[in-house]
Amino acid sequence: MTPLDFDARHLWHPYTNVAKPGPMHLITGAEGVWLTRDDGGRMIDAMSSWWCAIHGHRHPAITAAMHRQMDVLPHVMFGGLTHTPAIELGQKLVGLLPEGLDRVFYCDSGSVSVEVALKMAVQYQMAMGRNRKVEFATIRGGYHGDTWKAMSVCDPVNGMHGLFRGALSIQHFLPRPDIRLGEDWPAAPERNGMAALAALLEEKGAQIAGLIVEPVVQGAGGMYFYHPEWLRGAKALCEAHDVLLIFDEIATGFGRTGRLFGMDHAEITPDILCLGKALTGGHISFAATVATGRVARGIGESAAGVFMHGPTYMANPLACAAGVASLSLLEDGGWQDRVAQIDAQMRHELAPARDLPGVADVRVLGAIGVIEMRDTVDPQVAHRRAPETGVWLRPFGRNIYCMPPYVIAPDELSRVTAAMVDLARGDA
């Protein structure tokens, strides 16, 4: 039995029918933007391996930091103990984030970061004597992870977790903001979408602990870009109703949208922030949930006195060391020019797709490029073409998209955009 035969018979890949797993590529190595297959062929990782490898694969600064850490302290529990990598990473995060976001809780993955944020919100509200505030509000089209509570704030109808609808906690879903990024913002609340949030909080605010959204860019829910003014209005309404504002920046954090964080487009600070994916440059799973001092102190004043969460691998030293190295690579600001160049090139090279009959929209923001089709795209077509095009794409729903590493060269990016347009055109 070949390795791929064993894989097909025994390994369960994400969002895959085990009876019909489709084409599979055996990857034997990766460097920069390139993935190497077992047959010696190479493909550009236009996905940044699900959006996390912002510096490219096997970056020497990150791998060296992890090697050094491996020789000293691969892991130690974080309960009652601490270590230098955790402290250094916390210092960098607090230094990068807006003033006020200064209590860092380390997590295993982005989805767990969301779970932690939701638990923080409920425990804080209870500490404040608001025991009815145990529900959450969000907007349609969102995606916040695959774990249980996180699924409850993903789109209940069109999201990938719709089939669990009857088993999940019932939350409050608002219409997706229909004023897009770059459009004029209407002042009237009934025209800009704020009236719906105002009405919900007026009616149900006593039951809602927090409002959780992906700022400006909805990722796996549809790659939708909306106006940052909605976030400003949401913050004011949340404050008026004692509802915590939670930003899920797992996909948008660390430069992906052209700003360091998605919230920077709105110039506001949430009460709780979820980070993950690019935190370690895609070299090891890790995440963080960052709260304001007000939230952290409030939980400390609760009957329990402690926040009731503590993953076994919380603050794993290897992951913290990778995070320190990854954030250090962002400190010189060079990523801003690279992301701006990626943005400009994709706007130019994806523009011809607008004229294709099956295309509904083309949009670009920072290092995110999207061709939205009118009908669902079969990802297996892109998977089969990858060896020929030399580009690894993984479309979902109606979207052919890319989120390339920031280190991608112009000629490499041109290969990516050409593959996207060809896929949209239906070229064999």
Q: How far are the Cα atoms of 178, 205, 240, 377 from residue 172, in angstroms, in the given order?
A: 18, 11, 18, 30
248 a catalytic residue: yes
Q: Is 303 exposed, middle or buried (0-12, 13-18, 19+ CB in 10 A)?
A: exposed
Distance CA 114, CA 356 (A): 38
- Give the C-alpha separation, 32 to 51, whole Å: 14
Partners of residue 392 on adjacent β-strands: 45
Measure the CA–CA gap between 401 and 381, rounded to whole angstroms: 14
106 is known as an active-site residue = no
1 to 6, 22, 27, 28, 272: CA distances (angstroms): 6, 18, 18, 18, 49
Cβ neighbours for 20, distance < 8 A, ≥ 6 positions apart: none
Strand ranges (E), 145-243: 172-174, 208-213, 217-218, 224-225
User: CA quadruple 230, 233, 238, 241: dihedral positive or negative?
Assistant: negative
Report CA-CA distances (Å) from 233 to 125, 180, 188, 236, 238: 22, 15, 12, 5, 9
Q: What letters, b where the CB count within 10 A reaches 16 and e where it falls short, cover 23-51?
A: eebeeeebebbbbbbeeeebbbbbbbbbb
Single out the catalytic residue among 108, 155, 248, 343: 248
106, 155, 277, 401: the catalytic one is 277
Query: What letter would DSSP give residue 264?
Result: G
| Annotation marks residue 224 as catalytic | no
Q: CA-to-CA distance for 153 and 143, rounded, in angstroms?
A: 7
The catalytic residue among 106, 124, 143, 226 is: 143
As separate numbers, helices (DSSP H) first and strands (DSSP E) second, the chain gives 14, 16
Cα–Cα distance, 254 to 256 (Å, whole number): 6
Active site residue 313: no
Residues marked as catalytic? 15, 143, 248, 277
